[in-house]
Amino acid sequence: MAHIVRGYPLALIFIIMCLLIKAKIDVCKRGDVAVKPSRVISLGSSVNISCSLKPKQGCLHYSSFNRLILYKFNRRISYHHGHTLSSQVTGLPLGTTLFVCKLACLNSDEIRVCGAEISVGVVPEQPRNLSCIQKGERGTVACIWDRGRETHLYTNYILQLNGPKNLTWQKQCNDHYCDRLDLGINLTPESSESSFTVKITATNSLGSSSSFPSTFSFLDIAKPLPPWDIRIKFLNASVSRCILQWRDEELVLLNRLRYRPSNRRSWTMINVTNAKGRHDLLDLKPFTEYEFQISSKLHLYKGSWSDWSQPSRTQTPEQEPTGMLDVWYRRQHIDYNRQRISVFWKNLSISEARGKILHYRVTLQEVTGKNTTLQDITGHSSWTWVIPRTGNWAVAVSAANSKGSSLPTHINITDLCGA
């Protein structure tokens, strides 16, 4: 029974390899193409391309009329009668250029002899701006750098870390556009005072170049994880004292807090030291949705701030309304003894309402005579009642939410025509 390799029979793999080998042989069965000094050259260099026929691979009946033609991509650049052709090529652009040698016999189509790809590139520039970071106390060291100009060649990058006790750790990157690598090694807080050195070396077929060494400690590159489990508490259901709590990594020394009403763009920023996952806020507005975020840092001067935490949103509790309603009235004569009084008011602003207005309290009182008092509660912004035309009257209107009422607005109802 044939063995299986990744799901394919060995016999099938053997057949495929034979076909590939045969295909390579058939491609250049009539001759060879040689490139000197190399098939990989630096920009501005010249190469010599030679094409030669193998024995008995020329034109069958007129071997003296062998005509070899050299193509650069699909453009003819050189030809020669005989068994060999040699041509010097200059001014090749960056990247890969394909050259193909063909044989032309009398009264027949051109036959492919062989070909060659020539790659033009540059030596890697010295990598610059090498910097490293470790996210979280259990994270791994990852470094980034500026590769410089494009080499247009396969370039290998090797990142090497050296530390105390003869520590040597390296990782390589084969990506054509490599500009970052994770070493996969974790620096622990226990080694916070130890010094480490890292450098990056870029190598291709034309040469190599290394960055300047970068030296750092654990605290220099440490970037804490963002705080999590953010909670907001209001003591006694009041905005006078808001307690913001969160969880952090163990070594965090500094925190910065930012918060804003959800409908605002600008933030209020606070820096705190040794908060230990708690801070009191005293200046929040009532009945307002706020958005909170927190960032952390391990050292006052070293390392970097963590990313901001996920936003946490909450609405502050209500407080009793502040301010007074803007009230006016209209009176209409019904008959000799009665009149209709309509009272109107403007809703409090959000900052004055400080909560959801549940109702309005209207009090109509006769200030002379029988001292009659009428009271009513309404959810509308107007109120109408019929009263006698005699006597002097006054009206008071206040707004109420779940925490209390605003100060009442008083107006006297006077007979403007009588006045």
Backbone phi, psi, residue 25, to 5°? -65, -40
Instruction: Provide the pLDDT for residue 27.
Output: 74
Query: Which of 124, 119, 131, 68 has its CA nearest to residue 93?
Result: 119
Q: What's the CA gap between 255 and 272, in Å, rounded?
A: 5
Backbone phi, psi, residue 350, to 5°? -60, -40
How would residue 6 be classed by pLDDT, with cut points 50, 70 and 90? very low
Task: Read off the pLDDT of residues 9-63 as tens digits, 9 standing for 90 and up.
Answer: 445 544 545 444 444 445 788 899 999 999 999 999 999 999 999 888 888 765 6
Instruction: Provide the pLDDT for residue 135.
Output: 93
Task: Read off the pLDDT of residues 202-228 as tens digits, 9 standing for 90 and up.
Answer: 999 999 999 999 999 999 999 999 999
Token reading at 71? 């193509």
Task: Read off the pLDDT of residues 231-278 as tens digits, 9 standing for 90 and up.
Answer: 999 988 778 788 999 999 999 999 999 999 998 899 999 999 999 999
How would residue 279 be classed by pLDDT, with cut points 50, 70 and 90? very high
**Domains plus CATH for the chain?**
4-121 (2.60.40.10), 128-222 (2.60.40.10), 230-300+307-315 (2.60.40.10), 326-413 (2.60.40.10)
**What residues contact 369, with CB distance under 8 A and at least 6 apart?**
390, 391, 392
pLDDT average, residue stretch 323-340: 88
Residue 2 clears pLDDT 80, i.e. is over it: no
Instruction: Provide the pLDDT for residue 209.
Output: 95
Instruction: Provide the pLDDT for residue 387.
Output: 85
pTM: 0.71
Instruction: Provide the pLDDT for residue 59.
Output: 81
Q: Are 296 and 224 in contact (CB under 8 A)?
A: yes
CA separation (Å) from 245 to 162, 228, 229, 234, 347? 40, 10, 8, 11, 36
SS3 81: strand
Instruction: Provide the pLDDT for residue 235.
Output: 84
Task: Read off the pLDDT of residues 355-386 as tens digits, 9 standing for 90 and up.
Answer: 899 999 999 888 876 777 888 899 999 989 88
Residue 8 clears pLDDT 60, i.e. is over it: no
Instruction: Provide the pLDDT for residue 189.
Output: 83
Task: Read off the pLDDT of residues 162-201 as tens digits, 9 standing for 90 and up.
Answer: 999 888 999 998 766 889 999 999 998 887 778 999 999 9
Task: Read off the pLDDT of residues 285-304 as tens digits, 9 standing for 90 and up.
Answer: 899 999 999 999 999 989 99
Instruction: Provide the pLDDT for residue 218.
Output: 92
